């Protein structure tokens, strides 16, 4: 097997295991077996279990980095917020384990929180704050709104929708078919809440 | 030591350990030692490690049950929403481990998710949905807003503020002194977003 295949294989197999059991809940042998590889390949390709976990998190949080590209787009702030919400939905749909790493690193951080998770989330929050501040300076938003509090509220609306999915199915249809409706609903409440 | 003291002692000592290491990440011996009790006392007073974890979660999620008491209050919907937000803030301030159990049970449920966490969260969400529907029927809110989506958005605004605390300190002062300001800010955005 080519070097890259073996490495990618180890990362793919480790992702659900780390997501479900946490960094400490799974050992080298199980991680190797799940990938159908000799556990020694973990040390060989990734240095250690820590190295494998770091690679898994790097891959999961990579899409958050791309959110900051919205900064460069010459769109109005409300369009950028909508693109952020839409990108967040797409991330969770594409990577069901992301939420698990996201919440576990925030409540019980490993060293990867400081090196991977925190920079990724800060990049997104900073982009959102700058976007809101820009709109404020152009008199688009109500005076007196705190940019940081406002964008954390927006982030909460969409992220929490996915976190509560396992327990609120009785009240809300969480299926992907309804994603566009949810995005529009959040943007409706948010824009009425902040626009002048 | 009195029976109740020993039991309460075991629960108190187990709470941070389970919160930080998860149900599978800590054993009977460590749980007993942390409480300064013989590990056999866990079986004696709580049946098993599962029994101890169940008792810890029952205690942490008890305050969520009390949120449903807001239902009985003869206040206008927007006042009830504010009381809900304020009660949520108070819960996290009083019980720093709550968020950890909350997110880990939602992303990697133990059997306690079905018996303790889900009923507690559903009770809160149901109360919020009924409150919003009541306001809708009295023509207080904009037509076309989906009650469930709307209240999940409100819940997201306040819960996410606490989840992101470890990584957004650079942008937002998360200290308790600012809680009232955050509550007012969220209610400001939310009420402008939903009121007619």
Average pLDDT, 10 consecutive residues per value, chain B (196 residues):
84 97 94 96 96 98 91 87 97 96 96 97 96 96 97 98 96 97 98 97
Q: Which residues of B touch A183 (CB under 8 A)?
A: none
Q: Which residues of B touch A113 (CB under 8 A)?
A: 166-167
Nearest residue on chain B to A141, alpha-carbon basis: B189
Average pLDDT score, chain A = 95
Residue of A89, A106, A131, A181 to mutate when probing chain B, most B C-beta within 10 A: A106
Tell me: the pLDDT tens digits for A63-86?
999 888 888 887 899 999 999 999
List CB contacts of A92: < 8 A, sequence separation 6 or more. A98, A99, A162
ipTM: 0.94
How far apart CA A74 and CA B24 sit, in angstroms, is: 49
Nearest to B166 by CA among B154, B174, B155, B177: B174
Residue A163's pLDDT is: 97
Residue of B89, B92, B189, B194 to mutate when probing chain A, most A C-beta within 10 A: B189
Number of H helices, E strands in chain B: 11, 0
How far apart CA B155 and CA B1 sit, in angstroms, is: 42
Residue B1's pLDDT is: 56
Residue B75's pLDDT is: 80
Nearest to A152 by CA among B173, B101, B28, B10: B173
Q: Residues 124-163, chain A: which have Cβ within 8 Å of B? A: 125-126, 129, 142, 145-146, 148-150, 152-153, 155-161, 163
């Amino acid at each position: 097997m080519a070097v890259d295949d073996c490495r990618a294989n180890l990362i793919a197999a480790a992702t659900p295991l780390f997501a479900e059991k946490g960094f400490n809940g799974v050992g080298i042998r199980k991680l190797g077996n799940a990938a159908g590889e000799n556990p020694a390949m973990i040390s060989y390709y990734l240095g250690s279990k820590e190295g494998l976990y770091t690679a898994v998190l790097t891959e999961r949080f990579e899409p958050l980095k791309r959110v900051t590209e919205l900064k460069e787009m010459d769109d109005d702030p409300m369009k950028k917020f909508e693109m952020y919400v839409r990108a967040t939905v797409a991330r969770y749909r594409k990577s069901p384990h992301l939420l698990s790493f996201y919440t576990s690193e925030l409540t019980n951080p490993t060293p990867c929180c400081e090196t991977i998770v925190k920079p990724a989330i800060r990049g997104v929050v900073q982009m959102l704050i700058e976007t809101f501040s820009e709109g404020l300076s152009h008199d688009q938003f109500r005076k007196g709104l705190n940019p940081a509090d406002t964008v954390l509220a927006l982030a909460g609306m969409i992220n929490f929708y996915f976190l509560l999915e396992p327990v609120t199915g009785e009240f809300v249809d969480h299926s992907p078919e309804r994603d566009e409706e949810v995005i529009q609903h959040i943007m409706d409440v948010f824009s009425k809440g902040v626009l002048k």
